[in-house]
Amino acid sequence: MNVFAYRKNPTDITFVVQNITTRWINIFNNPVGPGAYIDLMKIRGISEEEIKSSLIKGELYHKFRTKSIKAFQSNVNLMSFDPVFTGFLNRNGITNGTGNPFEQSGAVSGTYACSTNVNVNDVVYLTSSDYVDQAYAFEPFAQPVIGVVQSKPSLTQAVVMYYGELTGQSGLITTATYYLDVIPGKYSATPPSNPGNIVQKLGFAKDATTLVLLIDRDFVVL
């Protein structure tokens, strides 16, 4: 990353994206490594208007369309976009500033029916329309993960976080990548390794108690 291209951002406006490829890419002439993050609003010469213009028909639009980057955090005002384009932004992780109904601290979540066996902090997958159950890494049909249970308003209802900072965890290894575990509903810093197991990344540990969810529906069968 070219640190010399950075400037102080006096307005505290951010537009943070992550390189979700396995190679180095350039964003506004700044190199970004695999899995790395960059706040585009800290790049010299980049303004809110340039971000908006690039999202419509420029570099950012292309990189989102080709699944090269994912939005991590943004408070750029994007309310001027029409509903169709706003949907495109929401699907790529840009929820703040677009009027998305899930806009709250950068997190995205939804409510589902579930069995009584599903607990808070369980990793879950969608079994049928509006119904989730515990996901696990030893059966392909229990895939793909859609999120982690943030709360349970009732025994048979779960609020599932798809994206954002899941707090209240314990014993996480800071900066470690976390994967779906072979134990139903659990996650681990050690990816499954046996033939037939599923490897699906869930996110990374910001600190010992916060799991940053960056769930990608892609997974690998060993």
Considering the chain, what percentage of its residues have pLDDT values greater than 90? Answer: 29
Class of the CATH domain delimited by 108-221: mainly beta
Q: What is the pLDDT of residue 106?
A: 52
**169-178 pLDDT, tens digit each:** 999 999 899 9
Q: What is the pLDDT of residue 86?
A: 66
Cα distances from 201 to residues 42, 60, 66, 191, 211, in angstroms, run: 28, 24, 19, 8, 12
Residue 184's pLDDT band (boundaries 50, 70, 90)? very high
Cα–Cα distance, 42 to 3 (Å, whole number): 10
Question: Which of 97, 92, 83 is CA-nearest to residue 13?
Answer: 97
Cα–Cα distance, 212 to 214 (Å, whole number): 6
**3-45 pLDDT, tens digit each:** 333 334 444 677 888 888 899 999 999 998 888 888 898 888 8
Q: What is the pLDDT of residue 37?
A: 85
Domain boundaries, the chain: 3-91, 108-221
pTM metric for this prediction: 0.54
